[in-house]
Structure formats: structure tokens, C-alpha cells
Structure 1
Amino acid sequence: MTAAATAPLAFDPTGRRADALRLELENAIVTGRFKPGDRLDEQSLADRFGVSRTPLREALGQLAATGLVTLMPRRGAFVATLGFRDIIERFETMAALEAMAGSLAARRIDGPGRRDLEASLQSCRDEAERSDSDSYYLANESFHLVIYAQAHNAFLGDEARRLHQRLKPYRRLQLRAGARVSVSLAEHERIAEAILAGDSASAERELKNHILVQGDRLNDFLAAFERSTSA
């Protein structure tokens, strides 16, 4: 099955075209419009979005960097096949990295960092009120990036951002399961409180639990994942 066989995609051309294309293709993959193994035909996608193949190739390259797309010489781009166990293992690793970042941030956060964390938390509150999981995800992402920065450990920050990028589609998908947005916001409140109080142990624990996909959250995520891949 090729991308040309899927339903038309809405495309907002504002901003950089490659970035807008990446977001649209990422969303189409996560929601199951493009399935694992599907070939993403460059010409068909370029015609559909009304763009040249240059920004499209850049977008596909960005998706390949996250592991969502596989680029095969002389064959083209394909939606990567990542199994559920692979995803869970990455979430487990992400939980460990974020827990470490939270612990360090609680000890090292500076004045501007405190303001950034409070501002990003307020953005999460504002977006949660809109009940739009995708817009909330963007605020959620900023919240976590502030924590990475305030750990003041460049290597840890680079590794956390890299894995965060690879898991981005699945973190967005997770927010669509049940009442996850409201639960996520409550967890953010506890994380920020611990970091701002300098409580490294609580920050570490809260961040680890926030990222781990387990218990009822695992069941909800599995159901959402199965819907996205069988739709």
C-alpha cells in the first residue's frame, strides 16, 4: 500500500513547509492513515500537498531521524515497523532519563529556569482547558524541555531530547487515551512543585511515574495503539 492510496490530508502551509509537512505526516502515521510498512511515495505526496519534492524530502529525513520512517536506497521511504514491545522499552528508558533530569533540575534550577518552568506549566493549564490533546502536547513538550535544560547536564539533555523526539508520535498518541490530558496536567503540577521546592527525590519519582506506561495507562495506551494500527 502506498501513500497515494490513503485519504486526503489537510495541510496548513504556514511556517516552514518542511516542518508543516513533517507534522502532518507524523500525525497521519500515528493515527493509522499510513500504516507500518506503507511506502510514502514522494511524487504522490508532493502532488497532494502542492509542494516541490525538496521540502518533502526534508520532512521525510526529519521523520527518519525520529525512527518513524525508514529510508531505503533506491526504494524510497516507508513507515517504520515498530512493535509495541519496542515502544514500551523506549518509554522505560525515557522514564529513567527524565527522572535523572528532574532530580538534577531540583538541585540546579536557576532564577530564569524557575520562571520558564512556571510559564510552561501555565501553558499546559491553558491548553488542558481547551481539551485538545494535540495542542496540549506542544505545551507538554515545552515543559519537559525546560526540565532537561535546568538539569544543566549537556550530555543528559542531548540524550533526553533525542529519545523524546523518537517517542514524540507515541507520546501524542498516549494523550488521546482516556482522560490522559487531565491526569498529565496533575502530574505536571506535582513535578513542578517538587523541582521548585528543591525536592530531588520527589522530582525523580514523579517524573519516572509520569513517563512509565504501566497499569491502567498501559491498557489504555495499548487500546489506542491497536486502534491506530488497525484503522
Structure 2
Amino acid sequence: MKKRSEVLREAIEEMIAVGKLPPGHHLDETELATEFGVSRTPIREALIQLDSMGIIVMRPRRGAIVAEISPQKLVEMFEVMSEVEAICARLAARRMSPADHAELLARHHACEEARNAPDPDEYFYRGEEFHDWIYVGSHNDFLIEQARTLHRRLRPYRRLQLRVRGRINKSFSEHDGVVKAIIEGDGDKASELLRDHIMIQGQRFTDLITSMSKRSNLAA
């Protein structure tokens, strides 16, 4: 059973991922304790966990804020994420069993069903499950751990990308190519396709920065 602080950490992390707590937002321990109906102690423990993950920044005598990432660092982080996922895809193409393939297809189909869901975040959640199964399919525990850690750090920004017009359908199409390459055992192709799917550059980066600006303005 999870500790209360871990449950709270996941809840606060989710609020950050979906934009309820935007970058730069001050996290008041008393307000959070009241919102979740707990004492400040588990809230404090949860914030310490989030700080260690780089999702928030705890400042001496000034409290905690949701971490802000500069455009340059964001590009660098997506660059690393794209390479990590590319490795996962290459290994998954070599190591996934028929049962793994069946689960990958099930998660891919869940993404397909979520494309037209009333809640645009439905595709985001199903997409996370899809990508996580590719991590698992690498059958490399250390790689899985690293991929999940970096994915968690980039969650708010991966979600925002999907808010750009037409991006969800394009994302699903890219998933489809990755799935086919993995099932065919073509590690190089799977790796290349997933790397391109994750990497933000050119217009995609401009769209992401615009989405971030809009969210900041709405939160102001």
C-alpha cells in the first residue's frame, strides 16, 4: 500500500501535468493541506519528493514553486527523451513476445478510440500507457526506470503538444508506424520513427511555446 505522501505526490503531480498548477505557481502547503484534507506533514513530504524529481523547486524561506523550464532546456530534454525512447523501441522490436505484441496493439487501439473523446486529455492518458508499454517491452529494467523518470518530468509539455490543432491525429498515425515496425522486428525503423515522434523542432517547437504562453496568460 502506498504511503499517504506518495498518493499526495501523485495527485499534485497530476495537477501540474494537466495545467491546474502551471510553471511558476507558488505551492502553499497550508492551502494544499486544506484541499486534500490532510495535515501539512504529508504535504511537505510530497513536495520534497517532487523537488527531488525536478518537478517543483523548493526555495529556502520562500516556499515551493512549480518548476519552469527555459525553451533551450526544453529542447535539450526532449532531445534526450527522443533518444531514450528510440533505444526502448529498438530493444522492444527485438525482445517483445507475442503476448507483448498483443498488449501493445490493445494500447494502440485504446489510443484510436480516445482520438475523438470529449475530453482531449483522454488521448494523453492512453498515449502514456502506450509509450510505457514500449518501455516495458525493452525488457531492460534500468532503461525503463530512466525512461519513466524523464517522461514524468516532461508530462506537462507532452500534454500541451496534443492541444495543437491536428496533433492528436498525427500522433496516432506516428504511433501506428512504430507499432508495425516493432511487430515486424525492425528495430532500426522503430527507433527512427519513435525518435522523430518525440523530438520537437521547427514548427512543433513554436506551437509548444505558443501553447505554454497561452496557459500562462490564462493562469495569470
- TM-score tier, shorter chain, comes to 0.7 to 0.9
Comparing 164-173 with 217-226, which one deviates more in the overlay? 217-226
1:67 and 2:54 correspond: yes
Which of the numbers 13, 28, 31 marks the counterpart of 1:22?
13
Q: 1:18 to 1:93 in 2, by over 3 A?
A: closer
Q: Taking structure 1 as reference, are residues 134 and 72 closer, same or farther at Cα in structure 2, changes over 3 Å only?
A: same
Confirm whether residue 154 of structure 1 aligns to residue 154 of structure 2. Answer: no
**1:208 counterpart (187, 195, 213):** 195
Q: CA RMSD in A?
A: 2.1
Q: Is the 8 A contact 2:54 2:153 kept in 1?
A: yes
The structure 1 residue matched to 2:112, chosen from 108, 125, 128, is: 125
5+ residue gaps in structure 1?
1-15
Query: 1:67 offset after TM fit, Å?
Result: 1.9
The residue identity in structure 1 corresponding to 2:18 is N
Q: Is the 8 A contact 2:16 2:66 kept in 1?
A: no
2:156 corresponds, among 162, 169, 176, to: 169
Shift of 1:175: 1.0
Q: What is the CA–CA distance in structure 1 between the aligned matches of 2:118 and 2:175, rounded to whole Å?
A: 16
What amino acid does structure 2 have at the position aligned with 1:71?
Answer: M
In the alignment, structure 1 residue 45 sits paired with structure 2 residue 36: no
Distance in structure 1 (CA, Å) of the matches to 2:197 and 2:130: 13
How far the C-alpha of 1:35 sits from its partner, in A, is 4.2
Q: Return the offset for 1:45.
A: 2.8
Q: Residue 163 of structure 2: SS of its match in structure 1? A: coil
Bigger mean CA deviation after superposition, 45-54 or 119-128: 45-54
Range with greater deviation from structure 2 (138-147 or 126-135): 126-135
Give the one of 160, 182, 194 matched to 1:195: 182
In structure 2, the gaps of 5 or more residues are 1-6
| 1:46-99 residue CA offsets vs partner (Å, 9 max, x unmatched) | 334544334533543443244221123443211223111111110000001111
Q: When the two structures are superposed, what TM-score results if normalisation uses the length of structure 1?
A: 0.83
TM-score by length of 2: 0.86
Between the aligned partners of 1:99 and 1:163, the Cα distance in structure 2 is: 13
Conserved? CA contact 2:16–2:156, under 8 Å: no
Cα drift, residue 111 of structure 1: 2.2
Give identity over the alignment, percent: 39
Aligned residues: 212
2:86 and 2:34 map into 1 onto residues whose CA distance is 44
Counterpart code for 2:190: A
**Letter paired with 2:167:** R
